[in-house]
Amino acid sequence: MPLPGSAAGTAWRGSKFSARPRAAPTSIPAAAMLVTFEPATRNDLAALTDLRDALERLLGRPVDLVEREAVEKSRNFIRRRAILREAETVYG
């Protein structure tokens, strides 16, 4: 199944990271994805929603999408550093 954007020309890159504290397990953990869109689709809510829905179908569990730019601009330097250090590219 192609992910959104591949057929429509929307380029994106994705990395996975842990969004929840290790001491706080949930019944169905969400997959946390750090995404970067090309400038033309950066503020496209439909592209973000389509991507999340496709990833949820592919992975069979909830997906939390966070734009890399938002993390990079975060004032919480501890969380920012942890996310960016832990991010592992899985697409793009």
pLDDT in tens, 6-59: 444 455 667 766 655 554 555 667 888 888 888 777 777 888 888 899 989 988
Domain positions in the chain: 12-18+29-91
Model-wide pTM > 0.75: no
Can you give the C-alpha Rg of the chain in angstroms?
13
